[in-house]
Structure 1
């Protein structure tokens, strides 16, 4: 684990109110991976990841030095695109498919939350 991920004694805590890096590593959206590490984990070239950034599917965070940083969630999206490309799907089509899959998952989460809210409201109304 990089030294910046594990604060040493006397290390400064972030001034922006966020948790220290080591405490955010369980967050799927925390940009923990460098371009090289991300590419190695997904099994693609850095150029492939840059290309995904160009499609808008993945927008890596930039470090203070301007280097791309990727989250686990972004790596999962990249891996899904690679899977589709390996099956013969053109990259642009694979990115559209993955983007639509993500939108569908979000709609399903939103629907489930609205359903729960509706059930709670109905329950409260019955007990008034």
Structure 2
């Protein structure tokens, strides 16, 4: 399969495959919810050549987490901030683990 083959994108979590309507349907949300989390800068949908919003699977996962918090009664802006902080914390943990693993392999080589 070549990079030009559309099927090569089928498993790409970052490929903007979903229209706003389809994304809202999958989330059980409204297009207004997707616009609100976009305005809160939680996710930035890509735009099609015609200017329509397109969402990736990764963005839908983030949106689903925000939707959980909103469903629990949290304002959209607060939910988005929490999801952003959770994402930053997860990234920091991943980086720390990489450093720990690298440091461990350096110490093993020194022994």
TM-score, normalising length: structure 1: 0.78
| Structure 1 alignment gaps of length 5 or more | 1-12
Equivalent of residue 75 in structure 1, options 60, 72, 97:
60
- Which structure has more helix as a fraction of its residues? 2
Partner of 1:26: 11
Q: Aligned partners of 1:21 and 1:112: how far apart in 2? A: 35
Q: 1:65 and 1:34 mapped to 2: Cα distance?
A: 12
CA deviation profile, 1:77-128 (whole Å, cap 9, x unmatched) = 11111111111111111111111111111111111111111112222222xx
Any unmatched runs of 5+ in structure 2? none
1:54 maps onto 2:42 in alignment: no
CA distance in 1, matches of 2:25, 2:46: 18
Q: Which has the larger radius of gyration?
A: 1
- Count of residue correspondences: 110
The list of structure 1 runs, each at least 4 consecutive aligned residues, that deviate by more than 4 angstroms after superposition, is: none
Alpha-carbon distance in 2 for matches of 1:20, 1:107 = 35
In 1, Cα distance between equivalents of 2:77 and 2:27: 18
Q: Which has the higher contact order (CA 8 A, sep 6+)?
A: 2
Aligned to 1:98: 83
